[in-house]
Structure formats: structure tokens, C-alpha cells
Amino acid sequence: YGTAWQNQKFEFAGFPGPVIVTTNCIIEPRRIYKDRLYTMNEVGFDGVKHIGANRDFSEVIAQAHEGKGFPRTVDPPEYHTVGFNHRAVLPLAGQVIEAVQSGALSRIVLIGGCDGDQWDRNYFTELAEELPEDTLIL
């Protein structure tokens, strides 16, 4: 789970719990998971429950507890964590500066786009994969 936005119709359908969409890359939900879908912040979709400014997640938590969950535990696939904003990055500023000064970090690259849903529209993924290991991608 957690691949590109265009896979949400498949990933959300196979995920055995509620899902919260926090960015604008939402696709019209399928009936199979629409009752487990929530939006928040600026995101919204007709017929999907929205978590308001009060950040009350109690309905999401209750639904997660009621769900059947995964039938078994498996080792998670290797993945790259993405989607951090300034609240996650700024506390690491000291470590980033230290990494630059020590030479452990050669460059900082901002990738500000997302790939498309056609097989050949994967420019940003390919760019990220081709960057040197000592690169910080924002």
C-alpha cells in the first residue's frame, strides 16, 4: 500500500480498514470502500465523510476496531517514505546541516510533481530512483 495516487481504487479496495485522504489526489471512490473513506483538510468528495477542523478521529478509530483487519501478518515490502511537510522537515534541520557539512549529503532536490496513471508517465519516480544515494529528496 502507499504507491502512486492512481492506484487508490485497487489499494483502498484491498485494504481492510478505514482510509483517510489528506491530499488533493482523490479519485471517485468505488462503492466497495466508500463507506471506509474519510477526507480532511482541503480535500473533500461528495458522499465521503469529512474530518473537520476539530480533528475528531473517533469515528475512524471505531471503524478500525470493528474491521476484520488483515488475515495474517506478512513482512512489509521495502518502500520509500514520502509526503513530509515543513513540520516534519524543520526539526531535522540540524542533522541536514551536519550531513551537508560532513559531505554525507551531496545535494537536496525538490520533486514537486506526481507521476500520471499511464505506464509511461513515471518521470518523477525515475528521477528519484536515478539520484545518488547521498541525495535528500523533498
pLDDT tens-digit series, residues 74-88: 777 666 666 666 777
Sign, CA dihedral 134-135-137-138, equals positive
pLDDT band at 113 (very low <50, low <70, confident <90, very high): confident
Per-residue pLDDT, averaged over 51-71, amounts to 92
Please give the Cα distance from 39 to 2 (Å, whole number). 16
All cell numbers assigned to 90: 524543520
pLDDT above 80 for 22? yes
pLDDT above 70 for 117? no
All cell numbers assigned to 3: 504507491
Residue 1: the pLDDT is: 66
pLDDT band at 118 (very low <50, low <70, confident <90, very high): low
Distant-in-sequence contacts of 39-42, Cβ < 8 A, 24+ apart: none
